[in-house]
Amino acid sequence: MKFTPEHTQISDTVRKFVANEINPFTAEWEKAGQFPAHKLFKKMGDLGLLGIKYPTEFGGMGLDFSYSMVAAEALGDCNVGGVPMAIGVQTDMCTPALARFGSDELRHEFLAPAIAGDMVGCIGVSEVGGGSDVAALKTTATKDGGDYLINGSKMWITNGMQADWCCLLVNTSEGAVHKNKSLIMVRLDSPGVTRQKIEKIGMHSSDTAQLFFDNVRVPQKNLIGQEGAGFMFQMLQFQEERLYGAAGSLRSLDNLIDQTIDYTRQRKTFGQPILNNQVVHFRLAELRTEVEALRALTYRAVEQYVGGKDVTKLASMAKLKAGRLSREVADTCLQYWGGMGYTADNPISQAFRDGRLISIGGGADEIMLGIICKLEGTLPGKQQ
């Protein structure tokens, strides 16, 4: 990756925003079970941080994805995981297909206010019976005059309690499961939409909801692209989501290691700092090396993505490694903090709770392994 002064400027802007507008309030937001998304997103929109990679005619900066990656990495300075995850939903999960394949009318109605921070979006893919198995979703949209009638439900929807709209993946026909799905923009104040908050073991400052759709009427013009292309569009969205997740973990992992070095240097056992034990400083050196390897993999994937190459395998590898390394770093560091690491308000325990989601959300580790094996040619075919 070749970084420009603009990359550095964006990174510095995000880090200052985190220091001034996010971290001072995270304890309050964690206790409340959500952060004020509209208020925070509006501040980010005023700085141009919600549309870095999107066209200028809709309020974006018109830059390539590498600049979004830099912003994601800088958000790793957040001392909780829920807020940067929710921001990533807005910038890199519910808007890529809309920006790339949506009509100008749809982009003016939904994308422009999302970039400005005037509307909060969410992505509706997972269901109770189909999370990582996207093909298994059951929510339907049937035509009725010039509208769709949507019925079904969506599960684990980040921003779901506060979102103004949802980019919803639904079945629009009875055809093959990979060709019968479409992405439709749905306003969540529409009659027939109800929401139920989901309590989680981590990511407390990010609200998560189950959404229910009961004969929700949506104009057919809210279709993104063409009918039947939704599965393909969502697979493309997943690439940016997974790259965002990998990039967003880098600085937070470095920060955990830095904090653990500081703590183990100060805390003494048997007359010497814990850090002086070879098992401790060697292990932290190993973890730092792993983070740098993940950074190199992520940068390479982003560079190729910006160059127009298919990075499905590299993005899956980066997502897999980010999830596993987040668990490994948090678990190891917590051990070195001892009893302090097990207290609820400790930064290591916070990461331990929040980081566990990375191996589940956006495609579980096992899905990433399946994708990699398929592209490696090592995935066994279906038995007859």
The domain limits of the chain are 5-120, 123-227, 232-376
- Which DSSP symbol is given to 223? B
What's the pLDDT score for residue 136?
85
Q: Could you tell me how many helices (H) and strands (E) the chain has, helices first?
A: 13, 9
Beta carbons of 106 and 224 less than 8 angstroms apart: yes
What's the pLDDT score for residue 383?
47
What's the pLDDT score for residue 382?
59
What's the pLDDT score for residue 135?
82
What's the pLDDT score for residue 384?
38
CATH of domain 123-227: 2.40.110.10
Active site residues: 241
Superfamily of domain 232-376: Butyryl-CoA Dehydrogenase, subunit A, domain 3 (1.20.140.10)
What's the pLDDT score for residue 342?
96
What's the pLDDT score for residue 75?
98
Alpha carbon distance, N-terminus to C-terminus of the chain: 46
What's the pLDDT score for residue 381?
81
Beta carbons of 155 and 210 less than 8 angstroms apart: yes
CATH of domain 5-120: 1.10.540.10
d(CA 110, CA 15) in angstroms, rounded, equals 27
For the stretch 91-116, pLDDT in tens is 999 999 999 999 999 999 999 999 99
The residues of the chain scoring below 50 in pLDDT are 383-384
d(CA 241, CA 259) in angstroms, rounded, equals 28
Q: What is the pTM of this model?
A: 0.95
d(CA 316, CA 314) in angstroms, rounded, equals 5
Same fold, 5-120 and 232-376: no
Q: Which residues pair with 166 in a beta bridge?
A: 122, 186
Residue with tokens 């989680």: 200
What's the pLDDT score for residue 2?
86
d(CA 238, CA 55) in angstroms, rounded, equals 20
Q: DSSP string of 289-351?
A: HHHHHHHHHHHHHHHHHHTT---HHHHHHHHHHHHHHHHHHHHHHHHHHGGGGGSTT-HHHHH
Q: Which residues pair with 197 in a beta bridge?
A: 209
Q: Give the helix/strand (H/E) hosting 140.
A: strand 140-144
Torsion of CA 121, 127, 130, 133, to 10 degrees: 0
For the stretch 158-179, pLDDT in tens is 999 999 999 999 999 998 989 9
